[in-house]
């Protein structure tokens, strides 16, 4: 686990399963149609139960790429699921970086609106959506650091990497970014 303090908040990087996190809000890697798929999304709906999809259907029709919507967390330990939609990676020349940054930022904004003190993210877009992990980790970490510098909340932002290789990349990139803080 790696942890740094910034503006009285903490940014943590850990390896594990997002559905097991004891935080107030977990972020889902959703799609624009908010239709449960595989990866993190599949795991969250499976463990959280049908209430999450029922609430999505009641409240929303879709969620544009770069934005995020909120539901309760059903049977999960968290209180809320923030469904964020990252971009599908094509060649890196179609605004993917900006859209990925916006997806993180939108989720953080929802967390602040909800008043939650702790939030956990998976590495958005780095599975089915094909975003290269090095670039994705730089965007994720820079966006979170900028947000914490600016707002000083939430108190805890945790990146939860499922794969050891992804975890190692995030740690390396944060070590580099830390020296410029």
Rule CB under 6 A: say whether 143 interacts with ligand AR6: no
Shortest Å distance, C-beta 99 to ligand AR6 = 11
Shortest Å distance, C-beta 30 to ligand AR6 = 6
Shortest Å distance, C-beta 149 to ligand AR6 = 25
**41 assigned to active site:** yes
Binding map of ligand AR6 across residues 150-179, x = CB under 6 A, - = no contact = ----------x-xx--x-------------
Secondary structure of the chain in HEC code, one letter for each residue: CEEEEECCEEEEEEECCHHHCCCCEEEEEECCCCCCCCHHHHHHHHHHCCHHHHHHHHHCCCCCCCCEEEEECCCCCCCEEEEEECCCCCCCCCCHHHHHHHHHHHHHHHHHHHCCCEEEECCCCCCCCCCCHHHHHHHHHHHHHHHHHHHCCCCEEEEEECCHHHHHHHHHHHHHHHCCC
Question: Which one of residues 18, 140, 148, 171 is an interface residue with ligand AR6 (CB under 6 A)?
Answer: 18
**Which is nearer to ligand AR6, 42 or 152 (by Cβ)?**
42
| Residues with active-site annotation | 41
Footprint of ligand AR6 on this chain (CB under 6 A)? 17-19, 29-31, 37-41, 43, 86, 122-129, 160, 162-163, 166
């Amino acid at each position: 686990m790696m942890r740094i303090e910034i503006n009285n908040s903490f940014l943590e990087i850990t390896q594990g399963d997002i559905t097991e996190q004891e935080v107030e809000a977990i972020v889902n890697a959703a799609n624009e149609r908010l239709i449960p798929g595989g990866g993190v999304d599949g795991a969250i709906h499976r463990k959280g139960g049908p209430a999450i999809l029922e609430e999505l259907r009641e409240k929303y029709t879709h969620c544009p790429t770069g934005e995020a919507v909120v539901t309760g967390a059903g049977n999960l330990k968290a209180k809320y699921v923030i469904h964020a939609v990252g971009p599908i990676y094509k060649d890196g020349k179609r605004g993917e970086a900006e859209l990925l940054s916006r997806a993180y930022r939108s989720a953080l904004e929802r967390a602040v609106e909800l008043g939650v003190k702790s939030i956990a993210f998976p590495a958005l877009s780095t599975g089915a959506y094909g975003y290269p992990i090095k670039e994705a980790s730089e965007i994720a970490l820079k966006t979170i650091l900028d947000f914490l510098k600016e707002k000083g909340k939430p108190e805890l932002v945790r990146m939860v990497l499922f794969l050891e290789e992804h975890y190692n990349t995030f740690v390396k990139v944060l070590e580099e970014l830390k020296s410029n803080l």
